[in-house]
Structure 1
Amino acid sequence: MNMASKIAKSPVVPSIGALLADARQARGYSLDDVAETTGLTVAEVTALENDADFDASKIRRIAAALGVLEKI
C-alpha cells in the first residue's frame, strides 16, 4: 500500500471551528447566545467557527461555555 492510499483512507479530523459550531448547534444556542455568554462579539464567534481566527483564549472560552473544552 502506497502513502497516497493510506492518506486517502485516513479519517478526516474536524476543524476546531467545526467542533465549536457543531457543539453550539447541538445545544440549540444561537451565535448571539454564545457571544453573550463568553463576552465575545458575534463576529468573533463566527470567525472562530469559520476557522478564520485561531486565538487560543477565545477558543477556550467558547469551548468551556459549550462543554467541549476536553475535545480541543
Structure 2
Amino acid sequence: MNMVSNITKSQVAPSVGALLVEARLARGYSLDDVAETTGLTVAEVTALENDADFDASRIRRIASALGILEKICDAPR
C-alpha cells in the first residue's frame, strides 16, 4: 500500500501577494494600471505581489483599489 496516497493535503490559504495577483488578473489590470491607480511604482506593486514587501499601507491601497480589502484582512501574513 502506498502511504503517500493516504495523506490528505491540507488546504493552504493563499498569501497576500497571491491574492493581489489573482484579483488584479481577474479584473484584467496590468501592473502599470495598479501602480497608476494607487500611486505606487510598478516595482512596489511587484514586491507586494511576490511577498517580498509587507508594508501594510501599500497592501491596503492595492487591496482597496482591487475591491478585496476585506479578503486581505483575513489572509495569512
Same fold (TM over 0.5): yes
Q: Which amino acid aligns with 2:34?
A: V
Give 1:38-49 correspondences, 5 Å limit: 38-49=38-49
Q: How does 1:17-56 map to 2 (within 5 A)?
A: 17-56=17-56
Whose relative contact order is higher, 1 or 2, with alpha carbons under 8 Å and at least 6 apart? 2
How far apart are residue 9 of structure 1 and its match?
3.2
Structure 1 vs Structure 2 CA RMSD: 1.0
Q: Could you tell me the percent identity over the aligned residues? A: 83
Cα distance in 1 between the residues matched to 2:32 and 2:10: 36
The one-letter amino acid paired with 1:33 is: D
Structure 2 gaps of 5+ residues are 1-6, 73-77
Letter in 2 for 1:11: Q
Q: Which residue of 2 aligns with 1:64?
A: 64
Larger helix fraction of residues: 1
Runs of 4 or more off by more than 3 Å in structure 1? none
Which amino acid letter does the alignment assign opposite residue 21 of structure 1? Answer: V
Partner Cα separation in structure 2 for residue 9 and residue 27 of structure 1? 30
| Contiguous gaps of at least 5 residues in structure 1 | none
TM-score by length of 1: 0.88
